[in-house]
């Protein structure tokens, strides 16, 4: 629809595409990043969507970035903003690390926009589990990176003889009574413990309480949790949208 912004987030597991009409996000459409026909499938999805007037691409998969940018140009007729440390972000440019990922940068952009007067830590539960922290002055303070929930489950499955590959779900108790419940408890509560420890360390280092935002495909397990102030699966897309506005 006229005036809409298309955001494309090329992640390690999925390529996510969604339209924002100025007030709300539409449905998030996904293509598997490792599909042999990923670019063709992206083109098919883009062709099925309503028209957009602006576009933005965030990518952590360099070999797909150029093809997706060209698809957005060809199908939508507009050149997308490409998220990177050299564009306008609303953050202190000198504080942005040289090796920062586009997804992490999007998370920080949205966090600082939402809470401009606070220290904010974003916990992104994707293929990797990352935390990134921004100060009230827009300084990028730093990042942690570790294996994500399903990455951990797959490693457990691939490196043990008797443990099954499972679908993650919220456990009823931390004390599992069968293998599936035990793995779920270990993974879910283990990651909650990681987040708590990281947030405690961040608060000790900055000398201030931080706002915690959870995002990524598995952030739903943290919604309403005592350590999380906000859970939003589209937080990364929102950061990309803000970057698009700042650079259009």
| For residues 225-229, average pLDDT | 79
User: Do 38 and 13 meet the contact criterion of CB atoms below 8 Å apart?
Assistant: no
What confidence tens digit (pLDDT) does each residue in 2-60 have?
589 999 999 999 999 999 999 999 999 999 999 999 999 999 999 999 999 999 999 99
Tens digits of residue pLDDT in 147-181: 988 878 788 777 776 666 767 777 888 898 888 88
Q: Which of 103, 117, 178, 232 is catalytic?
A: 103
Structural domains of the chain sorted by starting position, each given as residue range(s) with its CATH number in brackets: 5-82 (3.30.420.40), 93-240 (3.30.420.40)
Nearest Cα to Cα of residue 15 among 246, 237, 245: 237
Structure token digits, residue 7: 């955001």
| Global confidence as pTM | 0.91
103 labelled catalytic: yes
Residue labelled with tokens 């940068």: 105
What does 113-168 look like in DSSP terms, one character per residue? HH-TTSEEEEEEESSEEEEEEE-TT--EEEEEEEE-HHHHHHHHHHT-SSPPP---
Per-residue pLDDT at 245 exceeds 70:
yes
């Amino acid at each position: 629809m006229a005036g809409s912004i298309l955001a494309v987030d090329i992640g390690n597991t999925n390529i996510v595409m969604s339209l924002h009409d100025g007030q709300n996000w539409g449905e998030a459409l996904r293509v598997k990043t490792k599909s042999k026909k990923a670019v063709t499938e992206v083109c098919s999805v883009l062709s099925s969507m309503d028209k957009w007037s602006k576009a933005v691409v965030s990518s952590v998969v360099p070999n797909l970035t150029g093809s997706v940018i060209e698809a957005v140009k060809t199908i939508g007729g507009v050149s997308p903003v490409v998220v990177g440390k050299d564009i306008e972000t609303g953050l202190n440019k000198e504080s942005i690390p040289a090796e920062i990922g586009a997804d992490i940068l999007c998370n920080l952009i949205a966090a600082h926009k939402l809470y401009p007067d606070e220290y904010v830590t974003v916990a992104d539960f994707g293929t990797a589990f990352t935390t990134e922290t921004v100060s009230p002055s827009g300084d990028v303070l730093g990042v942690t990176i570790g294996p994500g929930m399903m990455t951990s489950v797959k490693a457990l499955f691939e490196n043990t003889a008797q443990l099954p590959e499972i679908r993650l779900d919220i456990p009823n108790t931390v004390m599992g009574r069968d293998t599936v419940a035990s793995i779920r408890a270990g993974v879910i509560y283990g990651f909650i413990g990681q987040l708590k420890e990281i947030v405690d360390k961040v608060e000790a280092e900055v000398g201030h309480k931080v706002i915690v935002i959870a995002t990524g495909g598995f952030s739903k397990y943290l919604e309403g949790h005592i350590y999380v102030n906000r859970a939003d699966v589209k937080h990364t897309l929102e950061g990309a949208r803000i970057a698009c506005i700042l650079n259009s």
